Amino acid sequence: MIEDFVLRALIGGLGVALVAGPLGCFIVWRRMAYFGDSVAHSAVLGVALGIALGIDLGVGILIVCVLFALMLALLQHQHRLATDTLLGILSHTALAIGMVAVGLMDWLRVDLLGYLFGDVLSVTWADIGRIWGGGAVALAVLGFIWRPLLSMTVHEEMARAEGTPVAAIRVVFMLLIALVIAVAMKIVGILLITSLLIVPAAAARRFARTPEAMAVGAALIGALAVVGGLAASLNWDTPPGPSVVVVASTLFIVSLALGGLSRTDP
Amino acid sequence: MNPDGSSVSPAIEARGVAFHAGGRSILQNVDMAVAAGEIVTLIGPNGSGKTTLIRILLDVLKPDSGEVIRRPGLTVGYVPQKVAIDPALPLTVGRFLRLGGKAGDSDVAAVLAEVGLPAVAGRMLAGLSGGEFQRVLLGRALLRRPDLLILDEPTQGVDVGGQLDLYALIARVRRQRGCAILLVSHDLHLVMAATDRVICLNGHVCCHGHPEAVTGDPAYIALFGPRAAELAVYSHDHDHGHDLGGRVLGDREHPHHPHPHHAPPHRHDAA
């Protein structure tokens, strides 16, 4: 008999994997892994905000992630500093300020480790509603902007010359990343969420001949990693979030080996 | 469409276009036009504002002053300078072509035949050679049935034989489709023979006109040095390249065979 908390963890984890796979493919194709990381790091600030304002922590995280993503979108137009330098500064500053702010509220016992590495075994049905609801919205929007986003991922100027509203779609995509990071935090935490976005996508690359196949493959590999990671965690009493990431990375290495054997495309 | 560009209104025209970036003037008072059926080449040293001008013509950048007048209903096909697709993005040639707009399988097959690459629709984009990739890019632009084709350094990363093939292909596109073509180039020697008019840009229009006239122009010589004048007029006649084009297409079925013999014997004088 499967225990209730295990079932909730599984449903929550699968919900995250299904949306993280397709979104993660675009993060890989557009080389935005560091952007994802930065937005995730800002989530600690969201926790602090949520506590300070006495609002739902999930809402606080979502607000901060969205604001941070928008700010990064604006700052990418400056040319004084390389984007990765800027992201490095902002991402760790946000993380540090968040930690300091939470630390100052010493009347509260906040489980920071849970935010940093996830707390999938304490997922509630409300969390699951948030994950699946947010995930469904994210997938629907991604499907809607799929073709223009793909076109501008291939070549932005060409897409623009062909009439794609590049700037608007870029902002929508960044907001999607913020949304998914905010709802997925509970599963693997701030420090590991990017891996759940990019590792399954990278693992799916070897087996895909179309972008859509890679997106579906990434969702399935992510789901496999969630199931495997939770099983490992329960069997050997390892931390669940990191276990999921370890399984995903193992699947990636396996994909390299298999892909090397059955390489069809040049 | 009227292949005689001189008598019709231009497909696109820039009037007094100026552009600044970072406190520096990139373009000043640029006037230019391209008419249907005409091949115009924009040349100029690096940093002379060629790409900026292209971006303004494409309506990607707004000029600080001056205006760009497009013929109403003008469709522009654009072949960008550099396309670096992340190797993690799996795309077949056919899918890449269809990304540009609504096109069916038969349209894709027809345009691939037109650019001399039949039967590559199912191949992965990452496996194409530089020359093949440039042709696919041209095909994507052609799928839009453009009235104006803008090609930014279309022969980058292509060997000399492949460059001649590409210019022959561009000349054929002009002949068959009658569209206006604006080329950006800095390989002077090859481009001079393939073009009707040359616009020499260095922040402003230094000189313009027929290739022979431009290469004798003092402004041109000042910009590219006295040797450029002797190098530039490379009168390999691409309109007699029908046979060449035909043979090139034939050879494309055996892409592993290099075909240096397609380069005319006097290319070394030009290079």
CA dist B34 and B53 (Å) reads: 13
pLDDT of residue A216: 96
CA dist B269 and A192 (Å) reads: 60
- The closest CB to that of B88, out of A28, A161, A209, belongs to A28
CA dihedral B201→B204→B208→B214, nearest 10 degrees, is -60
> A140 pLDDT exceeds 70?
yes
A140 CB-near residues (< 8 Å, 6+ apart):
none
pTM for the model: 0.81
Ordered per-residue pLDDT tens for chain B, 271 residues: 444 444 567 889 888 899 988 788 889 889 999 998 899 999 888 888 888 999 899 888 889 999 999 888 888 899 887 777 888 899 999 899 988 777 778 888 888 988 888 888 888 888 888 888 888 999 999 998 889 999 988 877 787 778 888 888 888 888 888 889 999 887 667 777 778 888 888 888 888 888 777 777 777 777 777 666 555 444 444 443 333 433 433 333 343 434 433 334 333 333 3
- Cβ distance A153 to B89 less than 8 Å, yes or no, reads yes
Residues of B with CB under 8 A from a CB of A: 22, 55, 58-60, 76, 78, 80, 83, 85-86, 88-92, 95-96, 99-101, 124, 126-127, 140, 144, 150
- Mean pLDDT, residues A80-95 taken together: 84
> A195 pLDDT exceeds 50?
yes
Read off the pLDDT band of A261 (50, 70, 90): low
pLDDT of residue A232: 94
- The closest CB to that of B124, out of A151, A161, A265, belongs to A265
Residues of A with CB under 8 A from a CB of B: 28-31, 79, 147, 150-151, 153-155, 157-158, 160-162, 201-202, 205, 208-211, 213-214, 265-266
The interface predicted TM-score (ipTM) is 0.80
Q: Which residue has the higher pLDDT, A123 or A137?
A: A137
CA dihedral A147→A149→A155→A158, nearest 10 degrees, is 70
pLDDT of residue A118: 83
pLDDT of residue A215: 96
Chain A interface test: which of B89, B129, B132, B134 (most A C-beta within 10 Å):
B89
Read off the pLDDT band of A134 (50, 70, 90): very high
pLDDT tens digits along A15-50: 999 999 999 999 999 988 888 888 888 888 888 888
Q: Please give the residue of chain B at the shortest CA–CA distance from A202.
A: B88
CA dist A259 and A199 (Å) reads: 15
- Cβ distance A211 to B91 less than 8 Å, yes or no, reads yes
pLDDT tens digits along A220-251: 999 999 999 999 999 999 999 899 999 999 99
CA dist B44 and B51 (Å) reads: 10
Sign of the CA dihedral running B79, A155, B33, B112: positive
- The closest CB to that of A208, out of B55, B86, B90, belongs to B90
